[in-house]
Structure formats: structure tokens, C-alpha cells
Chains A and B, each alone.
Chain A
Amino acid sequence: QSVLTQPPSVSGAPGQRVTISCTGSSSNIGAGYDVHWYQQPPGTAPKLLISGNSFRPSGVPNRFSGSKSGTSASLAITGLQAEDEADYYCQSYDSSLSAWVFGGGTKLTVL
């Protein structure tokens, strides 16, 4: 069981908006540690999508956005495209484990 909790799956039609939640606790997100997001298409390595809760690296479309509040964070994807089908993971730091931790991943299906 992962330290950070994500929904196993979300889906949406092309052009729609979806959100993926990431819920932590007082030893990680709630303690003020940043949340970062990764995209992992099938058979590939994870790729950084959002750093520092809401910053998009160069090359990431502005259809992707991140936010954080309290012990949770969210990734929003607007204008869904077929190429967005992938697994998405959140990541933070946990002070009680002294380790970087990940969510269990959310599979996005574009209908």
C-alpha cells in the first residue's frame, strides 16, 4: 500500500477535463513538502510533468496543471488528447520514513 493515495483510474472523452487526486498525511504533504507529478506511458520510464506543486518543466503543455492544499494535491488535465493516455504518479517526501514516496498511480483512459 502506497504512502500517497491516488484513484486507480480516471477517464474522459477527448477535449474534456479530468483531475487526479493525491492524498497524503501530516508527515508528508501536510508537513509542507512539495508534490511532484510524473507521466508514464505504457512500457516507458516515468517523465517529470509537474515540479514544486505547480511548475511545468519546459516542453510540458499548459493543459497540465498542479495544485496543493492541506494534505492533498491535484493534477488537472484539460483538453484531453489520445496521447495523454498513461499512468500518472504523485511524489513527495515523508519525514517519518526519511524517504521520497510515491502514490500508487492512476491510469488515465481517453474514451
Chain B
Amino acid sequence: QVQLQQSGPGLVKPSQTLSLTCAISGDSVSSNSAAWNWIRQSPSRGLEWLGRTYYRSKWYNDYAVSVKSRISINPDTSKNQFSLQLNSVTPEDTAVYYCAKGIRGWNGQNWFDPWGQGTLVTVSS
């Protein structure tokens, strides 16, 4: 049974970098059949997919256009985890951030299961 455990600070100052980590148990970040995602949730933006990292003989990343210039998602195979870095944050980035495993179905469609416990990140001075 896959479990995801998030860690990272809950308060970040404007213009600084938001950093979160998601530790994986019961699966491998290097799995050839999974993708590792970050999703955030706020009252103003709802649920918003941010990006993913995945391994298919080499590492790939996909990012949402809305954050593409500021985001980096990286695997750490030595610790079986992956991380999120979001640069130049503003109060608009205040949200609950979730990591989630992306599962690819038989027809190539993707869904998210399971999700991490969530981390409320507030951007404020």
C-alpha cells in the first residue's frame, strides 16, 4: 500500500522559494509505471495541478503553464522521495499543497491515488 508523507515549512516570505518534500513508501520514485505530482488547493483557485516528475528510462518533467517559469520538481532516488520548489512566491501562492501518485490506466488516462496529507503554506511577511 503506497503512502506519501509530506514535509516542509508552512510559512514563506514573499519573493522567496517554497520548498516541500514528499517521501514515498510502498513504491519507488523510479517506477516505470507511475508519475509523482504536486497539486495545490485554495479557495480562489480550487484544485490546481502544478506538475510532475516520472521515470521512463530517463527522467521527465511536465509543468502547468501557470507556474512553468517558477517551478521545479525533482526526484531523490537515494531517499525515495520527490520535491517541489516554487520560486518568487506571492500571497497568491498561499494554498494547501498536496503530493500525489499519478496512475496511468490501460487507455493512457491518468488519475491521482493516493494523496499526501497536505501542507498549508502561507506566503506572508
Contact = CB atoms under 8 A, between A and B. Distances in A.
B46 A2 contact: yes
Contacts of B107: 34, 52
Interface string A44-65: 0111100110000100000000
Contact of B113 (A51, A97, A101, A105): A51
A98 B114 CA distance: 22
A102 B65 CA distance: 15
B111 A102 contact: no
B113 A57 contact: yes
B41 to A, nearest CB: 8
Q: Give the interface SS of chain B, mostly helix, strand, loop or mixed.
A: strand
A45 B98 contact: yes
Nearest to A38: B112
Interface size class of A (residues with CB under 8 A): 20 to 34
B98 A36 contact: no
Given A99-B65, A100-B110, A102-B46, A45 B117 contact: yes
A105 B45 CA distance: 11
B111 A51 contact: yes
A102 B68 CA distance: 19
Nearest to A33: B109
Interface in A1-41: 2, 33-34, 36, 38
B48 interface: yes
Interface of B: 37, 46-49, 62, 64-65, 98, 103, 105, 107, 109-118
